[in-house]
Copies of this chain bind each other. A is one copy, B any other.
Amino acid sequence: MEVNNKLYKNQGIHVITSIFTVEQGVTKVLLIKRKNQPYLGKWVLTGGALYNNEDLEDGALREIKEKTGIEKIELIQSKAYGKINRSPAMRMVAISYIALIDSQRVNVLRDTRNTSDAFWCPIDEVPALGFDHNEILEDAIKELQKQIVKSNILKSLFPNGVTMPELQKTYEAILGKKFDRRNFRKKILNLNLLDDTNMTNKFEGNKPAKVYKFKKKIEDKDIFL
């Protein structure tokens, strides 16, 4: 492919991840504060420029590790963003990913080479972000909502198993919807995302709840006609 310098020079790729968690029925996204120009001091999603020696997902994972200390999480690709001026310095196209983790299980770095702060922000209270990250985050939330009903993305929140009441709380937090307790059970079991265990989990002084585990692999079924 011949390269016309005038037209193709100075292009780059951003890899950006919306890292979600759910705490006490509230869906939150990890925001970090920029330490450099552009958008110095602004909150943004986790991400940065892709290197030439790494695949897209590897780049996203490296950025996550550098800026937050979080390692080895599973990513799902969301969308690509390429408006001409979405990044001030040079032409950057962004590839967006989503991830879901248990915020209790990771130790988020609050100060790194490129970031001066980090916090888990409820998705209803997201401020104006740098770049086009508000738009990216909106789409990411929709992608998350799609994924929890067709993939085992929630496994990362409950690696040791989960009870129906816990699951329901989580689904309600992410989908922003309430469900009937008894029908929710049927719906979820029908999705075929869970395996039975014969363990139970005692809560605070009530009937013990059965523990389920997310399947390792989910076969994706046609949702066609």
Q: Flag if A8 contacts B51 (CB, 8 Å).
A: yes
Give bound CA distance, A184 to B224, whole Å: 12
Q: For the side of the interface on A, what is the size category?
A: 35 or more
- Give the segment of A20-28, A84-92, A117-125, A155-163 that binds chain B: A84-92
Q: Is A36 an interface residue (CB 8 A)?
A: yes
State the copy count for this chain: 2
Residue A77 lies at the interface, judged by CB distance under 8 Å to chain B: yes
Chain B residue contacts of A49, Cβ below 8 A: 1, 3, 7-8
Q: How far is A175 from B51 in the complex, measured between Cα atoms in Å?
A: 39
Is A79 positioned at the interface, with any CB of B under 8 Å from its CB?
yes
Are B95 and A48 interface neighbours, CB within 8 A? no
* A83 and B55 contacting across the interface, CB-CB below 8 Å: yes
Interface-centre pick from A1, A184, A187 (highest chain B CB count, 10 A): A1
Inter-chain pairs besides A8-B52, A11-B52, 10 sampled, C-beta below 8 Å: A1-B90, A8-B51, A13-B93, A55-B82, A56-B93, A80-B95, A82-B95, A149-B224, A179-B225, A184-B225
Chain A residues within CB distance 8 Å of chain B: 1-3, 7-13, 36-38, 48-56, 59, 77, 79-84, 87, 89-93, 95, 145-146, 149, 171, 175, 177, 179, 184, 187, 223-225
Interface CB pairs A-B, < 8 A, 5: A1-B36, A1-B49, A2-B36, A56-B80, A175-B224
